[in-house]
Structure 1
Amino acid sequence: MVIVQLRYSFRVYPSAGQRLALGRAFGCVRVVFNDALRVREAARCAGLPFVAFGELSRQLTVAKKTPERAWLAEVSSVVLQQSLRDLDIAYRNFFDGLKGKRPRMGAPGFKSRKDTRQAIRFTANAGWKVTAGGKLRLPKVGDLAVKWSRSLPSAPSTVTVIKDSAGRYSHRSWSRPNPGHCRIPAARSASTGARVRPGPVTAQREETGTHPKPQPVTTGRQTGNSAP
């Protein structure tokens, strides 16, 4: 059975203080990604075995207790772990390309503060929520004002906050089109223009503790396209 997920994007309008918090989070996930990539590259050059995710996660925990990396504790630990996951995905795609399982792509490279796109990802474990007032509450960021342009069919599984090259902020979420799940009303109806107050929705922790494989997704219509 194919499980289809819908991708939704909404504009976000952070306050000055929230922009600072987001900028701090963007910088922390970039440092974590680069540190982990540096560890794997050092192991490769030394002819040592590939450093597993678990070891990178352990080293991250240790690094947060050192004076040089103590500031990593100022952001949500979930976004730091997701940065390690992103590195794992980049390596998996690279190795799959070498094996002919997908088109070839380059090896993972270091991220830069000058990159045109900055992003952080919160999973259900982060405890984010949509408040009764329709704001997106993110740990160690605050309640973000969101322009809800449509309803969500269910509580999203993840929330990604993105800053583009023009300095605009948006949040992207993935939801299953299941009418039995909790709905998040839009702030303004697309058909009538009437304002609708969103009800409180909180992300729920996965009971299985496993990470599902990427599933086909769409941006509003069910298609056979896979998630990027």
Structure 2
Amino acid sequence: MQRLQAFKYEVMPTGEQQRNMRRFAGSCRFVYNKALALHKERHERGEKKLGYAGLCRLLTEWRNCAGTPWLRDAPTHPLQQSLKDLERAYTNFFARRTDFPRFKKKGQGNSFRYPDPKQVKLDQDNSRIFLPKLGWLRYRNSREVLGAVKQVTVSASGGKWYVSIQTERDVDQPFP
């Protein structure tokens, strides 16, 4: 039986890494809000909703635009993941499972996710993890990570930064 499990640790970033994490979270929030505003504009004009692929093409334009050169500094996968999150929010809204997607506010729920496990390197012996464009981050290793890494989420809460490592592993079927 496959088991998904997440392990959350406090990260001890350097000053430069902390600034980059704030910037990356802000970039993901900007992309999410810009795509949501675009959806609202298109809806008011009576146009069809853009899908995820269309938004990814626009993301490339936004990254190459002279007005937003700082988007190039952020890793691409977390930006694309924020567009997937918006797509999922729209799907849930139209399935009547939740309210209409809202704009994200600065300082609330600052996070970004690396969905590709090939980009992440975990060194448990030295209590550090490698994330693209951040480098090696030290974390407080309180327990062993079990299984293969599936995705990594970096989030801020209460002035501290955390890393959540989602893993997948085989376990025996529990007996009733």
In terms of fraction of residues, the more helix-rich structure is 2
C-alpha contact 2:129 2:139 (8 A) present in aligned 1: yes
In terms of fraction of residues, the more strand-rich structure is 2
- 1:1-228 to structure 2, matched below 5 A, reads 3-97=2-96, 104-115=97-108, 117-124=109-116, 127-131=119-123, 133-164=126-157, 166-178=158-170
Higher CA-based Rg: 1
Distance in structure 2 (CA, Å) of the matches to 1:28 and 1:107 = 22
Distance in structure 1 (CA, Å) of the matches to 2:117 and 2:35 = 22
Letter in 2 for 1:21: N
| 1:6–1:125 CA distance, 2 compared to 1 (3 A) | closer
TM-score by length of structure 2 reads 0.90
Identity of aligned residues (%): 27
CA offset digits 1:14-42 (Å, max 9, x no partner): 11111001011011000000111111111
Letter in 1 for 2:150: S
C-alpha contact 1:153 1:178 (8 A) present in aligned 2: no
| 1:79–1:39 CA distance, 2 compared to 1 (3 A) | same
TM-score by length of structure 1 reads 0.70
Deviation, structure 1 residue 69:
1.4
- Which one has more relative contact order, counting CA pairs under 8 Å at least 6 apart? 2
C-alpha contact 2:75 2:132 (8 A) present in aligned 1: yes
Deviation, structure 1 residue 177:
2.7
C-alpha contact 2:6 2:165 (8 A) present in aligned 1: yes
